[in-house]
Structure 1
Amino acid sequence: MERLVTDRRRVLAVLAGLLLGLFGTLLAAAPASAHAALVGSDPGNGTIVPDAPNKVTLTFSESVQLLSDKIRVISPDGSRADQGEPSVTGTQVTIPLRTGAGRGTYLVSYRVISADSHPVAGTITFSVGAASTPPSAAEEEVRVDPVVRTLIPIAKYLGYAGLVLLVGPVLVLALLWPQRLDRRGPGRLIWTGIGLVAGSTLLGLWLQAPYTLGTGLFDVGLGDVRDVLGSTFGAVMLVRLGVVIAAAFLLRPLLVGTGGGESKLDLALLGVLGVAALATWPLTGHPTASPVAGVSVVIDALHLAAVAVWLGGLVMLFGFLLPRANGRELGAILPIWSRWAAAAVGALIFAGVVQALIEVSTLDGLINTTYGRLILVKVGLAAVVLGVAAYSRKLVKSRAAEESPGPLRRIVLAELAITAVVLGVTSVLVQIAPPRTAEAAETAATTTTVTQTLTSNKMSLQVDIFPAKVGNNSIHLYAYTPDNKPLPVIEWKATATLAAKGIEPIEIPLLRITDFHAIGDIALPAAGEWTFKFTARTTEIDQSTLTMTANIS
């Protein structure tokens, strides 16, 4: 009875350490960020096109999934201009438009799910013929209910904690546990791990619906939950749940009695299930949207496995082996565990470095982004843990812990406390957009197209120059009357001059596409403030000449 009470106290001590990390998660929790960026659209954001298109195309930095009725195109008069259902192919979303749409400015609002399961929302505008006051429809933004925002990192943390209490303890119990020692204490710990993983999975499935829709925790219906279950995220989470349930059945012989009930086949199957379970975490996170997704998924799974083995093994040492094993048993166990820990730490460092290089890639991204700074915090905490672990390894080598395990227990407790906080930082980290996503959004927002509208008393001329850089450039010309109606042009002429560098006028060959639209191509040999002159002859005797300057980089 006394031993049972002691075991319970040890389990409670371990859980208290994990709750400390959970408290750190709550303190550090921040609004979840979208992890995909809109990198292009057709028509382009803010552009003016001569004729109404039959579709709008949105291109994102990573593959996305659609949400029901969350993509809309609003016409200048406030009515819906989209018709039918939008479609998605990888990173590209296509929205069909109805025919007969009028002139003016259109608003495109979207809310989709990125490859790493986060909602992405925003708006763009384009104009047909001429710009007008944009529709008054509310702009789409990533809204997340505060309760949902708080619960998401908690669910992730509980999943990580459950993984730690499951993988490491099972490994120690199967391969290092002395035959004479009772297994009920470790068994309760492992069952707690199973419960945490299963519970966090179910909670994550429920939270995904209000998270992606931007609603309250209980403002979702069965159809919304069904949509989540039918998504990639839902499929992966269901696989995780199935793997955990299967593992629970196979673990029963290992967790009862004094050992010997488990078979080698069961242990092999548990190993396979463990690998499958570990793979489900990167498949619902940043690695799936990485530029090298296959590498990132493997590296992230390795990172999780190393943490689970190391931290889970420390839990078993602190809670059970150091207090209960005798000197002879510790003399056999500790050297083996020390080698395991060294291998886990090596894998952890390797995987962490590769992950950081993929997700951050630049010094600026490491220092000047929230994601990068959290990486630095994680590295600092890991460095402290490594220092403590090195000292504990020194104790093991000196064999002092076999006679007096007290100092080693205190060191292990310190490792557990710090690594619990590291888990909390990780739970927040997976909710924050990595620098590569921010860079993609910034690049998309910085357009190099020069668009100007030139006017005279006879006409209005819209000029688009792309990409406005040294080398080959495309020029589009659209002619309108002063009251913004298409103006037929009989003949076009255009030249480009860079007087500052002595470049004389270069003639730009133009081709009429429609009565009021012409295109041309020109190779601009140098950067600078170029002067473009356009002449449009509208009748046998009427013509207009307009001039503009554009910076070519």
Structure 2
Amino acid sequence: MPVMTVDRRRVLAVLAGLLIGLFGPLLIGAPASAHAALTASDPNNGSTIPDAPNKVTLTFSESVQLIQGKIRVLAPDGSRADQGEPSVSGSQVTIPLRNGGGRGTYLVTYRVTSADSHPVAGTLTYSVGAASTPPSADSDAEVAVDPVVRALIPTGKFLGYAGLVLLVGPVLVLALLWPHRLERRGPGRLVWTGIGLVVGSTLLGLWLQAPYTLGTGLFDVTVSDIRDVLGSTFGAVMLVRLGVVTAAAFLLRPLLVGTGGAESRLDLALLGVLGVAALATWPLTGHPTASPVAGVSVVIDALHLAAMAVWLGGLVMLFGFLLPQANARELGAILPIWSRWAMTAVGALIFAGVVQALIEVSTLDGLINSTYGRMILAKVGIAAVVIGIAAWSRRLVASRVAEENPSRLRRVVVAELALTAVVLGVTSFLVQEPPPRTAQAAETGPVSTNVTQTLTSDKMSLKVDVFPAKVGNNSIHLYAYTPDNRPQTVVEWKAAAALPAKGIEPIEIPLLRISDYHAIGDIGLPMAGEWTLKFTARTSEIDQSTLTMTAKIS
């Protein structure tokens, strides 16, 4: 009996150390960076357009979902320019605008949820006719997260992954390897603990998603906010997880109390199906859904989780129950089978990890020069040591030393658990870090290729827009103003473009007078370089102004 007491304490110590090693980094890390990025907008960010549009279109790097009341367009006077509800189709958000927008600079603020369930926020501006002082942005323009919510999100992840480890591996061992003579009370408590952790983490995740996406406090959540979360993709997946785990709990009762037999084979088959469905819910709420090959990423991530849960959960059962309680004959039957399971799980982990890295990193530069890539290299190095230890444990099993002296194998298992905890600790940080492909999209953002300059003389101010400022066809918009920034009537326009560095003489640009102060023209620019643009605006029979600028054409 004293030996059993010591064993139980050691089991609890190992479990505590394992879970802290696996998930402790999550408790001090911030929620994962948003993985969606604004890649384009219409009108372009910072551009000036001649007439007020009837809509604004935002295009992101991945599909997004709307957050009610968090997208606005403010007119130059600070009033709302948007009208009706915005709509979303995949990665594109369309914001309808009211008619008759005035001249000046408009401000667009947005806050949406990316495909991997993280909020994305920002602002952009565009001007109609001429630029003015933009309206002030509100707090929705930044991804602000309440500190308490920020701390509880990794806690919820901790609970979920801990529950997965304590559920999958022990159930598999009980169903296929557990000796009939041993009681199942201890492993049963382990499994029920795993179920409780998964359910608790899911409920906590559903609650936290509302203040996380809205940027509010933990208790500033209304019934309507929770309803919105449940109606989102994130909410639907989490509800599926709850339903699957609840169904599995009913099927597990006979297995955990030892009453299952041949008649429970159907239950075991159903448990297998439910297990696959439950594992799939983890990648469906993470960044695998935003991968360029989302279907492959989801399957690979689920395989990675399954292999991890089988291997670690099985090691916990081996160390905590089988090695202390099974006799030599039982270990002789169990250990070779477990050794093959472990080898298969390790192979699945390696395969899934390589595929995930190829999808998320894809280049050698991304592997070496990004935080995400360096974490993968660290993970690979530690994993290599773990695989070496696992190979040593297989040799012990093959030599049948462990059957007569289980303590030797238990020491090897402890080493496996410890180093695997470090590997998955690195993985915990890896989940928080945007992969190179999404980090690049976030850094690039919506890039305007327009050239915009304001030219001045003592008689007028001329605003010039050239777009797309690339070799090929380009449009030119001219806006004339008085020195005090009022529209200036222009009777006649003239324009020319030259590239002296390449010996290209001035090319006349045909202009069309749109209004008293606005003209447009089109020209095909055949080469890249610093083009010289010359404009002449005649404002009366005797008054005219000639202004010159350079525009870099790429």
Equivalent pair of 1:510/1:518 in contact (CA under 8 Å): yes
In structure 1, the residue matched to 2:218 is 217
In structure 1, the residue matched to 2:273 is 272
Q: Output the amino acid matched with 2:129.
A: G
Equivalent pair of 1:20/1:421 in contact (CA under 8 Å): no
In structure 2, the residue matched to 1:380 is 381
SS at structure 2 position matched to 1:65: strand
In structure 2, the residue matched to 1:87 is 87
Q: Output the amino acid matched with 1:454.
A: L
Equivalent pair of 1:179/1:259 in contact (CA under 8 Å): no
Q: Deviations over 1:202-250 (max 9, x none)?
A: 1111111111111121121221111111111000000001000000111
How many residues are paired up? Answer: 551
Q: 1:340 to 1:10 in 2, by over 3 A?
A: same
Q: Deviations over 1:99-134 (max 9, x none)?
A: 333222222111111111000011111222222222
In structure 1, the residue matched to 2:124 is 124
Across the aligned residues of Structure 1 and Structure 2, the Cα RMSD in angstroms comes to: 2.4
Q: Using the alignment, how far apart are the partners of 1:327 and 1:504 within structure 2?
A: 95
Q: Using the alignment, how far apart are the partners of 1:379 and 1:150 within structure 2?
A: 29
In structure 2, the residue matched to 1:177 is 178
Matches within 5 A, 1:230-245: 230-245=231-246
Displacement, 1:453?
Answer: 2.0
Structure 2 residue ranges without an equivalent (≥5): none
Equivalent pair of 1:57/1:94 in contact (CA under 8 Å): yes
Identify which range, 491-500 or 184-193, moves more after superposition: 491-500
Q: 1:229 to 1:18 in 2, by over 3 A?
A: farther
In structure 2, the residue matched to 1:18 is 18
Q: Using the alignment, how far apart are the partners of 1:261 and 1:197 within structure 2?
A: 29
Equivalent pair of 2:464/2:478 in contact (CA under 8 Å): yes
Displacement, 1:10?
Answer: 5.8
Q: Using the alignment, how far apart are the partners of 1:357 and 1:380 within structure 2?
A: 17
Q: Deviations over 1:384-415 (max 9, x none)?
A: 32222122122222222121121211111122
Identify which range, 248-257 or 80-89, moves more after superposition: 80-89
In structure 2, the residue matched to 1:75 is 75
Q: Deviations over 1:36-84 (max 9, x none)?
A: 1111111211112222222221111111111121111222222222222
Equivalent pair of 2:64/2:91 in contact (CA under 8 Å): yes
Displacement, 1:280?
Answer: 0.5
Identify which range, 132-141 or 512-521, moves more after superposition: 512-521
Equivalent pair of 2:30/2:154 in contact (CA under 8 Å): no
Q: Using the alignment, how far apart are the partners of 1:45 and 1:171 within structure 2?
A: 55
Equivalent pair of 2:11/2:319 in contact (CA under 8 Å): no
Equivalent pair of 2:480/2:490 in contact (CA under 8 Å): no
Q: Using the alignment, how far apart are the partners of 1:10 and 1:187 within structure 2?
A: 18
Q: Output the amino acid matched with 1:481.
A: Y
Q: Output the amino acid matched with 2:522.
A: G
Displacement, 1:319?
Answer: 1.0
Q: 1:391 to 1:185 in 2, by over 3 A?
A: same
Identify which range, 486-495 or 328-337, moves more after superposition: 486-495
In structure 2, the residue matched to 1:251 is 252
Matches within 5 A, 1:420-439: 420-439=421-440
Identify which range, 377-386 or 118-127, moves more after superposition: 377-386
In structure 2, the residue matched to 1:532 is 533
Identify which range, 253-262 or 302-311, moves more after superposition: 253-262
Displacement, 1:473?
Answer: 3.7
Q: Output the amino acid matched with 2:56.
A: V
Q: Using the alignment, how far apart are the partners of 2:359 and 2:180 within structure 1?
A: 45
Matches within 5 A, 1:291-370: 291-370=292-371
Q: 1:346 to 1:513 in 2, by over 3 A?
A: farther
In structure 2, the residue matched to 1:289 is 290
Q: Output the amino acid matched with 2:414.
A: L
The TM-score normalised by the length of structure 1 is 0.93
Q: 1:495 to 1:398 in 2, by over 3 A?
A: farther
In structure 2, the residue matched to 1:472 is 472
Q: 1:304 to 1:26 in 2, by over 3 A?
A: closer
